[in-house]
Each structure stands twice: as structure tokens, then as C-alpha cells.
């Protein structure tokens, strides 16, 4: 009898030992960084350059703006706030996605933008009419066949600082920002031709 009671007590304390830390450790488990290639380090685009990228793309209310490697979400959020455009941002850093969601809420555009913890290389961009990039040249080149295959003709790509290899941009915008730094933006237009 005593042995049975002892066994039950032991099982109960073991169960508590295993379950309690799980409950108290945190309400939601922290999101994990997906196993994905690092396409660029986090360097946010200054706000004035964001605005210029959206102007170069000719963003309007009817657009869906995807930012691949969205950081704190400033590009889709600005497109939503300024033009009423819808937006999607993907990033592999959970901290960035948390910031983007908080920034969308603060800007009152949560209903227009979505942020996902996702690899840009496996993101379906077929729903985008504008794609923005601030990634390294080699990363833009990795994305080029994916973007040119999936984007509908007339969709625009605006790349900050780094272009898309030997694909000649429709327009390039070169200027010096408020902090005296040289900036270069490139505008490409999908035309149905897949570019490897």
C-alpha cells in the first residue's frame, strides 16, 4: 500500500516537474529563424529613399507591394499608408517580423499589410504587382529567374543599390540622400520573358 502511494506521489511530482516549466516558460514559443540562405544583412533603407523607391515604381492604391527581405516593414507600410496599397513583407529574422507587425499596427495599416517569417527564395510572388529589393547583387541574381517567371507582365521591380546583372533597367535613379550618401535605384518591368 505504502509502495503504491509512494509510486503515485513520485509520478505526480515527475509530471509536475516536466509540465510546469513548459507552462511558465512562455505563452507562445519564440519563432525560429528558418533554414534559409542569408541574402543580405539587415540595413534599413532610409525613409526618404523608401519614398523615392515607391515613386519610381509608380505605386498606387491598386498595387500589391512585396518586399523580399522586409526588415522592419517600412516599405510595405509606407506604400499602405501613403497610397493605400496592399503589401506583403517576408524576412528570415523573427525579430524583424515582430517589429514589422508592431510598426504596421502603430501606422494603422494592419488591414493592408502582412508580414511572414519566410525565405524570399521560396516566396510565391505571383500576387505582386511591385517587388522591392534591398539585397546583395548575387542575391538579386538568384531571385531574377524566380521573379521573371512568376511576375505578371507589367509588374515592376525596384532594387535599391544593387541591380539585376545584365538586365538593363527601364530607369535608374541616382541621387545623394539627406545624409550626403550616394544612392542608386533601379526600375525593371516584367515582360513575360524569363531571365536566368
Q: Which residues here bind ligand SAM, judged by CB under 6 A?
A: 36-40, 42-45, 67, 69-71, 74-75, 90-93, 96, 119-121, 134-135
Count how many residues are written for the chain.
Answer: 196
Q: Which one, of 111, 189, 182, 91, lies nearest residue 148 by Cα?
A: 189
CB 40 to ligand SAM: min, Å: 4
Block residue for cell numbers 550616394: 182
For ligand SAM, the closer of residues 15 and 59 by Cβ is 59
For ligand SAM, the closer of residues 120 and 157 by Cβ is 120
**80: number of Cβ within 10 Å:** 24
CB 103 to ligand SAM: min, Å: 11
CB 49 to ligand SAM: min, Å: 8
| Residue nearest ligand SAM (C-beta atom) | 69
CB 150 to ligand SAM: min, Å: 16
For ligand SAM, the closer of residues 73 and 169 by Cβ is 73
Spatial strand order of the sheet with 182-189 comes to 113-117, 86-91, 64-68, 130-133, 156-160, 182-189, 171-176
CA–CA separation, 158 and 23 (whole Å): 46
For ligand SAM, the closer of residues 11 and 38 by Cβ is 38
Residue 120, C-alpha cell as written in the block? 524570399
Quick check: 112 and 85 in contact, CB under 8 A?
A: yes
Amino acid at each position: 500500500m505504502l509502495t503504491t502511494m509512494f509510486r503515485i506521489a513520485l509520478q505526480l511530482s515527475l509530471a509536475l516537474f516536466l509540465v510546469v516549466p513548459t507552462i511558465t516558460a512562455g505563452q507562445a514559443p519564440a519563432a525560429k529563424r528558418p533554414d534559409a540562405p542569408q541574402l543580405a544583412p539587415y540595413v534599413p533603407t532610409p525613409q526618404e529613399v523608401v519614398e523615392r523607391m515607391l515613386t519610381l515604381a509608380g505605386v498606387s492604391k491598386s498595387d500589391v507591394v512585396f518586399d523580399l527581405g522586409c526588415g522592419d516593414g517600412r516599405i510595405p507600410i509606407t506604400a499602405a499608408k501613403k497610397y493605400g496599397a496592399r503589401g506583403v513583407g517576408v524576412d528570415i529574422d523573427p525579430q524583424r517580423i515582430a517589429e514589422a507587425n508592431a510598426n504596421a499596427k502603430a501606422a494603422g495599416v494592419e488591414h493592408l499589410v502582412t508580414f511572414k517569417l519566410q525565405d524570399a527564395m521560396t516566396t510565391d510572388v505571383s500576387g505582386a504587382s511591385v517587388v522591392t529589393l534591398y539585397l546583395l547583387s548575387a542575391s538579386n541574381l538568384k531571385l531574377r529567374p524566380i521573379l521573371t517567371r512568376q511576375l505578371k507582365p507589367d509588374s515592376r521591380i525596384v532594387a535599391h543599390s544593387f541591380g539585376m546583372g545584365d538586365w538593363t533597367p527601364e530607369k535608374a535613379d541616382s541621387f545623394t540622400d539627406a545624409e550626403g550618401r550616394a544612392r542608386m535605384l533601379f526600375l525593371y518591368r516584367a515582360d513575360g520573358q524569363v531571365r536566368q
